[in-house]
């Protein structure tokens, strides 16, 4: 099937290119390889979490606990290292299982007891962050072997881009195939638009959503492992607030907050766009507060934009009577 880009995906991609070119021409340093290295390093954890978040929001739910899952994973990883677990594969495996379990708790409350995901994950946002402080308190664990920490940020040979982006790319392909080219994905869009009709078509809405929250937890944990090694520091406040960056990217990427609409390509473009914008403006000495304002405005624009267009269209139609 010849499938053109959905218009919103194209707009976000275009915006990314324009912002990159304008930035490179006007801001000193944006054209440098170092800049792109930092953008990528910053985008990796956001992208990892945005992948499952896209699917979750398409089903009409949301997971706001992701940053706290990341933080709790970091502290548990640090504590395990201090307690003598010295195998990196074992640490990663334990962290992923932990993240999956934390996601399963969310999933259980949401699908098992039928509670709204917004309320449940705001609760676990606080709960998991609190547990992170229980595990490490104000301490930081930072004495990881240097081989690990350098491996995490090693560039792809011949470039400055960290190799971990390839892992992100591979995972992005997996999520994109699930969402856009597998029977499960068809069910996700259906339940996001109309859960009742999805049930009548034999889609197991609750089970699917449960597993999505498990995936969201596991991916947040993976982002936590990367975070710990990149900064060589496990602290309870790691990643505080990045759930907003993730949700912002997903919505700016064209996913409807009401569920049922959106595509992964737009989301990935939006992750990159926000990263370039933030780092570029930083280089231009725009104060951090202004950056936050800009991100907020973009987010509102991405949510309001489609509604305004729809409203205008309806008003025009009404006036034709």
Nearest to 125, CA basis, from 218, 43, 240, 227: 240
Out of 119, 159, 200, 287, the only residue in the binding site for other proteins (CB under 8 A) is 200
In the complex, the smallest distance separating the C-beta of residue 209 from other proteins, rounded to whole angstroms, is: 15
- Residue 260 sits in the site that holds other proteins (CB under 8 A): yes
Is 204 one of the binding residues for other proteins (CB under 8 A)?
yes
Applying CB under 8 A, which part among 200-208, 214-222, 283-291, 308-316 lies near other proteins? 200-208
Q: What track of x and - describes contact with other proteins for positions 283 through 312 (by CB under 8 A)?
A: ------------------------------
Q: Which of 85, 182, 284, 309 binds other proteins (CB under 8 A)?
A: 182
Bridge partners of 272? none
- Asked if 196 is part of the footprint of other proteins (rule: CB under 8 A), the reply reads yes
H runs (alpha helix) in 59-141: 66-82, 88-107, 117-136
Cα–Cα–Cα angle for 166, 172, 175, rounded to 5 degrees:
150
Contact, 253 vs 266, CB < 8 A? yes
The DSSP call for residue 141 is E
Please state, in angstroms and rounded to a whole number, the distance separating the CA atoms of residues 157 and 155. 6
Nearer to other proteins, 20 or 203 (CB): 203
Q: Which is nearer to other proteins, 89 or 202 (CB)?
A: 202
- The verdict on 202 binding other proteins (CB under 8 A) reads yes
The H or E element that residue 140 is part of is strand 140-141
Q: Is 308 exposed, middle or buried (0-12, 13-18, 19+ CB in 10 A)?
A: exposed
Distance CA 317, CA 274 (A): 35
Contact between 275 and other proteins (CB under 8 A)? no
19 vs 161: CA distance, rounded Å:
19
**CB of 1 vs other proteins, minimal distance in Å:** 4
Report whether 70 contacts 231 (CB < 8 A).
no
Q: Which residues lie across from 235 on neighbouring strands?
A: 140
**Of positions 198, 234, 236, 246, contacts other proteins by CB under 8 A:** 198
Distance in Å, CB of 201 to other proteins, minimum:
4
Q: Does 193 bind other proteins (CB under 8 A)?
A: yes
Asked if 6 is part of the footprint of other proteins (rule: CB under 8 A), the reply reads no
93, 197, 288, 293: residue in contact with other proteins (rule CB under 8 A): 197
For residue 224, state whether it binds other proteins (rule: CB under 8 A): no
Q: Contact positions toward other proteins, by CB under 8 A? A: 1, 3, 177, 181-183, 185-187, 189-190, 193-194, 196-204, 260-261, 321
């Amino acid at each position: 099937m010849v499938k053109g880009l959905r218009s919103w995906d194209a707009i976000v991609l275009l915006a990314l290119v324009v912002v990159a070119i304008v930035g490179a021409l006007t801001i000193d340093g944006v054209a440098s390889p170092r800049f792109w290295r930092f953008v990528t390093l910053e985008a990796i954890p956001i992208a990892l979490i945005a992948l499952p978040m896209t699917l979750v929001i398409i089903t009409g739910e949301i997971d706001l606990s992701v940053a706290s899952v990341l933080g709790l994973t970091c502290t548990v990883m640090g504590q395990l290292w201090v307690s003598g677990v010295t195998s990196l594969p074992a640490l990663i495996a334990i962290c992923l299982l932990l993240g999956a379990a934390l996601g399963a708790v969310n999933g259980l409350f949401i699908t098992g007891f039928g509670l709204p995901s917004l309320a449940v994950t705001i609760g676990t946002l606080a709960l998991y962050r609190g547990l992170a402080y229980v595990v490490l308190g104000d301490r930081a664990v930072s004495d990881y072997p240097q081989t690990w920490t350098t491996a995490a940020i090693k560039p792809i040979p011949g470039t400055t881009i960290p190799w971990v982006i390839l892992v992100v790319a591979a995972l992005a392909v997996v999520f994109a195939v699930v969402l856009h080219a597998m029977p499960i994905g068809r069910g996700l869009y259906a339940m996001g638009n109309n859960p009742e009709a999805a049930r009548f078509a034999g889609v197991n809405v609750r089970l699917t959503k449960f597993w999505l929250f498990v995936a969201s937890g596991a991916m947040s944990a993976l982002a936590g492992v990367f975070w710990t090694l990149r900064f060589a520091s496990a602290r309870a406040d790691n990643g505080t607030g990045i759930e907003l960056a993730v949700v912002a990217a997903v919505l700016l990427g064209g996913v409807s907050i009401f569920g049922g609409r959106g595509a992964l390509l737009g989301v990935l473009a939006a992750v990159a766009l926000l990263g370039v914008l933030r780092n570029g403006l930083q280089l231009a000495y725009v104060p951090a507060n202004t950056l936050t304002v800009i991100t907020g405005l973009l987010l509102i624009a991405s949510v309001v934009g489609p509604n305004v267009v729809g409203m205008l269209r309806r008003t025009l139609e009404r006036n034709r009577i």
